[in-house]
Structure 1
Amino acid sequence: MAGVEDVHELAAGMPHVTVVHGSKENPVYQVGGKSFVFFRTPRPDAVDPDTGERYTDVIVLWVGGEEDKLALLAQPPFFTTPHFDGHPSVLVRASRLGEISREELAEVVQDAWLARASPARARRWLATQRLDDQVE
Protein backbone atom coordinates (compact mmCIF):
# COMPACT_ATOMS: atom_id res chain seq x y z
CA MET A 1 0.00 0.00 0.00
CA ALA A 2 1.06 3.58 -0.61
CA GLY A 3 2.49 5.95 1.97
CA VAL A 4 3.78 9.51 2.26
CA GLU A 5 7.33 8.42 1.53
CA ASP A 6 6.06 7.07 -1.80
CA VAL A 7 4.64 10.47 -2.74
CA HIS A 8 8.05 12.06 -2.13
CA GLU A 9 9.94 9.32 -3.96
CA LEU A 10 7.62 9.23 -6.95
CA ALA A 11 7.37 13.00 -7.37
CA ALA A 12 11.12 13.56 -6.94
CA GLY A 13 11.82 10.71 -9.36
CA MET A 14 10.14 12.37 -12.30
CA PRO A 15 12.42 14.24 -14.75
CA HIS A 16 13.27 17.94 -14.35
CA VAL A 17 11.72 18.16 -10.88
CA THR A 18 12.65 20.75 -8.31
CA VAL A 19 11.38 20.95 -4.76
CA VAL A 20 10.59 24.30 -3.22
CA HIS A 21 9.12 24.90 0.19
CA GLY A 22 5.97 26.80 1.00
CA SER A 23 5.42 29.31 3.78
CA LYS A 24 5.27 26.54 6.40
CA GLU A 25 8.20 24.63 4.85
CA ASN A 26 5.75 22.27 3.17
CA PRO A 27 7.28 20.56 0.10
CA VAL A 28 6.07 21.64 -3.33
CA TYR A 29 7.18 19.53 -6.30
CA GLN A 30 7.51 21.45 -9.55
CA VAL A 31 8.38 20.78 -13.16
CA GLY A 32 9.40 23.79 -15.23
CA GLY A 33 8.40 26.06 -12.35
CA LYS A 34 4.86 24.65 -12.23
CA SER A 35 3.62 22.79 -9.16
CA PHE A 36 2.25 19.30 -9.73
CA VAL A 37 2.24 17.85 -6.19
CA PHE A 38 2.26 19.81 -2.97
CA PHE A 39 1.66 19.28 0.68
CA ARG A 40 -0.99 21.78 1.69
CA THR A 41 -1.05 23.74 4.89
CA PRO A 42 -4.25 23.40 6.97
CA ARG A 43 -7.11 25.51 5.65
CA PRO A 44 -10.63 26.11 6.93
CA ASP A 45 -12.23 24.43 3.90
CA ALA A 46 -10.67 20.99 4.50
CA VAL A 47 -12.17 19.72 7.72
CA ASP A 48 -13.23 16.47 9.28
CA PRO A 49 -17.02 16.35 8.82
CA ASP A 50 -17.50 14.71 12.21
CA THR A 51 -15.23 16.86 14.39
CA GLY A 52 -14.83 20.08 12.41
CA GLU A 53 -11.05 19.78 12.89
CA ARG A 54 -8.88 21.02 10.04
CA TYR A 55 -7.06 18.31 8.13
CA THR A 56 -3.32 18.73 8.64
CA ASP A 57 -2.21 16.17 6.05
CA VAL A 58 -3.71 17.20 2.69
CA ILE A 59 -1.75 16.57 -0.50
CA VAL A 60 -2.75 18.33 -3.74
CA LEU A 61 -2.20 16.52 -7.05
CA TRP A 62 -2.80 18.14 -10.43
CA VAL A 63 -4.93 16.37 -13.03
CA GLY A 64 -5.17 16.68 -16.79
CA GLY A 65 -8.67 18.12 -16.76
CA GLU A 66 -12.18 17.93 -15.38
CA GLU A 67 -12.81 14.42 -16.72
CA ASP A 68 -9.69 13.11 -14.98
CA LYS A 69 -10.68 14.93 -11.81
CA LEU A 70 -14.16 13.43 -11.78
CA ALA A 71 -12.77 9.93 -12.38
CA LEU A 72 -10.44 10.22 -9.38
CA LEU A 73 -13.11 11.78 -7.18
CA ALA A 74 -15.30 8.76 -7.84
CA GLN A 75 -12.80 6.58 -5.99
CA PRO A 76 -11.84 7.10 -2.37
CA PRO A 77 -9.62 8.36 -0.84
CA PHE A 78 -9.52 11.28 -3.32
CA PHE A 79 -11.68 14.32 -2.59
CA THR A 80 -11.95 18.04 -3.19
CA THR A 81 -13.22 21.13 -1.39
CA PRO A 82 -15.09 24.20 -2.62
CA HIS A 83 -11.76 26.07 -2.71
CA PHE A 84 -10.68 23.75 -5.53
CA ASP A 85 -13.90 23.91 -7.58
CA GLY A 86 -12.85 24.49 -11.18
CA HIS A 87 -9.19 23.80 -10.36
CA PRO A 88 -7.51 20.88 -12.15
CA SER A 89 -6.51 19.01 -9.03
CA VAL A 90 -7.63 16.48 -6.47
CA LEU A 91 -6.83 16.15 -2.80
CA VAL A 92 -5.86 13.17 -0.70
CA ARG A 93 -5.06 12.91 2.98
CA ALA A 94 -1.67 11.43 3.75
CA SER A 95 -3.30 9.35 6.48
CA ARG A 96 -5.48 7.65 3.85
CA LEU A 97 -2.81 6.83 1.25
CA GLY A 98 -2.78 3.24 2.51
CA GLU A 99 -6.17 2.80 0.83
CA ILE A 100 -4.49 2.72 -2.58
CA SER A 101 -1.56 0.76 -3.94
CA ARG A 102 1.83 2.26 -4.69
CA GLU A 103 1.17 1.51 -8.37
CA GLU A 104 -2.09 3.49 -8.29
CA LEU A 105 -0.32 6.37 -6.56
CA ALA A 106 2.48 6.23 -9.14
CA GLU A 107 -0.05 6.62 -11.94
CA VAL A 108 -1.66 9.64 -10.24
CA VAL A 109 1.72 11.30 -9.60
CA GLN A 110 2.88 10.63 -13.16
CA ASP A 111 -0.37 12.05 -14.52
CA ALA A 112 0.09 15.12 -12.30
CA TRP A 113 3.58 15.61 -13.73
CA LEU A 114 2.28 15.17 -17.29
CA ALA A 115 -0.46 17.74 -16.64
CA ARG A 116 2.17 20.37 -15.78
CA ALA A 117 5.24 19.44 -17.84
CA SER A 118 5.92 21.15 -21.15
CA PRO A 119 4.63 19.23 -24.17
CA ALA A 120 8.21 18.44 -25.26
CA ARG A 121 9.17 17.06 -21.83
CA ALA A 122 5.95 15.06 -21.65
CA ARG A 123 6.56 13.56 -25.11
CA ARG A 124 10.15 12.62 -24.23
CA TRP A 125 9.12 10.99 -20.96
CA LEU A 126 6.23 9.10 -22.56
CA ALA A 127 8.60 7.84 -25.28
CA THR A 128 10.96 6.43 -22.63
CA GLN A 129 8.01 4.67 -20.98
CA ARG A 130 7.04 2.99 -24.24
CA LEU A 131 10.64 1.84 -24.69
CA ASP A 132 10.67 0.43 -21.15
CA ASP A 133 7.43 -1.43 -21.85
CA GLN A 134 8.92 -3.00 -25.00
CA VAL A 135 11.99 -4.20 -23.07
CA GLU A 136 9.95 -6.04 -20.42
Structure 2
Amino acid sequence: MATMTDLDELALALPGTTKEVSEDGRPTYLAEGKMYAFHRSQRKDAVDAETGERLADVLMFRTPDLEVKELLLADDRDIYFTTPHFNGYPAVLVRIRDLERLDREELGDLLVDAWLTRVKKSVAKAWLAENGVSD
Protein backbone atom coordinates (compact mmCIF):
# COMPACT_ATOMS: atom_id res chain seq x y z
CA MET A 1 0.00 0.00 0.00
CA ALA A 2 1.68 3.23 -1.20
CA THR A 3 1.36 6.63 0.47
CA MET A 4 2.32 10.24 -0.19
CA THR A 5 5.32 9.65 2.09
CA ASP A 6 6.39 6.82 -0.23
CA LEU A 7 5.92 9.12 -3.22
CA ASP A 8 8.19 11.69 -1.65
CA GLU A 9 10.86 9.18 -0.59
CA LEU A 10 10.93 7.33 -3.89
CA ALA A 11 10.99 10.45 -6.04
CA LEU A 12 13.72 12.15 -4.00
CA ALA A 13 15.85 8.99 -4.16
CA LEU A 14 16.17 9.40 -7.93
CA PRO A 15 19.36 11.23 -8.95
CA GLY A 16 19.00 14.92 -9.65
CA THR A 17 15.42 15.09 -8.40
CA THR A 18 14.33 18.25 -6.71
CA LYS A 19 11.03 19.01 -5.08
CA GLU A 20 9.11 22.24 -5.21
CA VAL A 21 6.08 22.82 -3.03
CA SER A 22 3.30 25.23 -3.96
CA GLU A 23 1.95 27.75 -1.50
CA ASP A 24 -0.90 25.39 -0.72
CA GLY A 25 1.42 22.41 -0.14
CA ARG A 26 1.21 20.56 -3.44
CA PRO A 27 4.52 18.89 -4.44
CA THR A 28 6.14 18.92 -7.86
CA TYR A 29 9.07 16.61 -8.62
CA LEU A 30 11.61 17.73 -11.18
CA ALA A 31 14.59 16.07 -12.85
CA GLU A 32 17.16 18.46 -14.24
CA GLY A 33 14.57 21.20 -13.81
CA LYS A 34 11.90 19.34 -15.81
CA MET A 35 8.68 18.24 -14.15
CA TYR A 36 7.91 14.53 -14.18
CA ALA A 37 5.29 14.18 -11.43
CA PHE A 38 3.15 16.63 -9.52
CA HIS A 39 0.01 17.18 -7.47
CA ARG A 40 -2.38 19.08 -9.71
CA SER A 41 -4.44 22.01 -8.58
CA GLN A 42 -8.19 21.69 -8.87
CA ARG A 43 -9.17 21.93 -12.52
CA LYS A 44 -12.48 21.89 -14.32
CA ASP A 45 -11.41 18.86 -16.37
CA ALA A 46 -11.17 16.54 -13.34
CA VAL A 47 -14.40 16.29 -11.39
CA ASP A 48 -15.96 13.79 -9.02
CA ALA A 49 -18.55 11.82 -10.99
CA GLU A 50 -20.94 11.72 -8.04
CA THR A 51 -20.73 15.30 -6.73
CA GLY A 52 -19.54 17.22 -9.78
CA GLU A 53 -16.93 18.96 -7.61
CA ARG A 54 -13.39 19.52 -8.85
CA LEU A 55 -10.95 16.90 -7.58
CA ALA A 56 -8.29 18.21 -5.22
CA ASP A 57 -6.30 14.98 -4.96
CA VAL A 58 -4.99 14.35 -8.49
CA LEU A 59 -1.38 13.39 -9.18
CA MET A 60 0.11 13.50 -12.68
CA PHE A 61 2.91 11.19 -13.82
CA ARG A 62 4.63 11.41 -17.19
CA THR A 63 4.80 8.18 -19.17
CA PRO A 64 7.49 7.15 -21.65
CA ASP A 65 5.03 7.34 -24.53
CA LEU A 66 1.38 7.13 -25.46
CA GLU A 67 1.50 3.32 -25.68
CA VAL A 68 2.54 3.03 -22.04
CA LYS A 69 -0.16 5.54 -21.15
CA GLU A 70 -2.77 3.37 -22.87
CA LEU A 71 -1.50 0.24 -21.09
CA LEU A 72 -1.85 1.96 -17.73
CA LEU A 73 -5.29 3.28 -18.60
CA ALA A 74 -6.34 -0.28 -19.53
CA ASP A 75 -5.47 -1.53 -16.03
CA ASP A 76 -8.71 -3.06 -14.77
CA ARG A 77 -8.22 -1.67 -11.25
CA ASP A 78 -9.23 1.79 -12.57
CA ILE A 79 -6.41 3.51 -10.68
CA TYR A 80 -5.11 5.42 -13.68
CA PHE A 81 -7.18 7.91 -15.64
CA THR A 82 -6.85 10.86 -17.95
CA THR A 83 -8.82 13.93 -18.94
CA PRO A 84 -9.30 15.72 -22.27
CA HIS A 85 -6.53 18.15 -21.22
CA PHE A 86 -4.06 15.25 -21.51
CA ASN A 87 -5.27 13.89 -24.86
CA GLY A 88 -2.18 13.18 -26.96
CA TYR A 89 0.15 13.86 -24.00
CA PRO A 90 2.17 11.05 -22.42
CA ALA A 91 0.91 11.20 -18.85
CA VAL A 92 -1.55 9.51 -16.54
CA LEU A 93 -3.45 10.77 -13.54
CA VAL A 94 -3.93 9.04 -10.19
CA ARG A 95 -6.04 10.16 -7.26
CA ILE A 96 -4.11 10.37 -4.00
CA ARG A 97 -6.78 8.24 -2.35
CA ASP A 98 -5.96 5.48 -4.88
CA LEU A 99 -2.26 5.34 -4.00
CA GLU A 100 -3.19 2.79 -1.35
CA ARG A 101 -4.24 0.48 -4.18
CA LEU A 102 -0.66 0.50 -5.50
CA ASP A 103 2.19 -1.18 -3.71
CA ARG A 104 5.39 0.75 -3.06
CA GLU A 105 7.23 -1.09 -5.86
CA GLU A 106 4.59 -0.21 -8.45
CA LEU A 107 4.68 3.43 -7.38
CA GLY A 108 8.47 3.31 -7.64
CA ASP A 109 8.26 1.91 -11.17
CA LEU A 110 5.78 4.64 -12.13
CA LEU A 111 8.15 7.30 -10.81
CA VAL A 112 11.23 5.79 -12.46
CA ASP A 113 9.45 5.66 -15.81
CA ALA A 114 8.39 9.29 -15.38
CA TRP A 115 11.87 10.36 -14.24
CA LEU A 116 13.53 8.62 -17.20
CA THR A 117 11.51 10.80 -19.58
CA ARG A 118 13.19 13.94 -18.24
CA VAL A 119 16.85 13.10 -17.53
CA LYS A 120 19.71 13.12 -19.99
CA LYS A 121 20.24 9.84 -21.81
CA SER A 122 23.65 9.42 -20.19
CA VAL A 123 22.13 9.78 -16.71
CA ALA A 124 19.35 7.34 -17.58
CA LYS A 125 21.78 4.81 -19.02
CA ALA A 126 24.06 4.99 -15.99
CA TRP A 127 21.14 4.65 -13.54
CA LEU A 128 19.67 1.72 -15.45
CA ALA A 129 23.03 -0.07 -15.52
CA GLU A 130 23.69 0.60 -11.83
CA ASN A 131 20.26 -0.75 -10.92
CA GLY A 132 20.43 -3.80 -13.19
CA VAL A 133 17.59 -2.66 -15.41
CA SER A 134 17.77 -3.22 -19.15
CA ASP A 135 16.66 -0.29 -21.28
Q: Verify same fold: TM over 0.5.
A: yes
Q: Give 1:20 shift.
A: 1.9
Show structure 1 runs of 5+ residues with no match. Answer: 132-136
Higher helix share: 1
> Residue 95 of structure 1 corresponds to which residue in structure 2?
97
In the alignment, the residues of structure 1 paired with residue 121 and residue 17 of structure 2 have an alpha-carbon distance, to the nearest angstrom, of 15
For these two proteins, the number of residue pairs brought into alignment is: 131
Q: Give RMSD over aligned pairs.
A: 1.3
Pairs within 5 Å for 1:46-125: 46-75=46-75, 76-125=78-127
Q: Give 1:22 shift.
A: 3.8
Q: What is the aligned-residue identity percentage?
A: 43
Write the deviation string for residues 45-92 of structure 1: whole angstroms up to 9, x where unpaired. 100111101110101100000011001111220100001111111000
> Residue 129 of structure 1 corresponds to which residue in structure 2?
131
> Residue 134 of structure 1 corresponds to which residue in structure 2?
none
SS in 2 for 1:29: strand
Q: Assess if the C-alpha contact under 8 Å between 1:24 and 1:41 holds in 2.
A: no
TM normalised by structure 1 equals 0.91
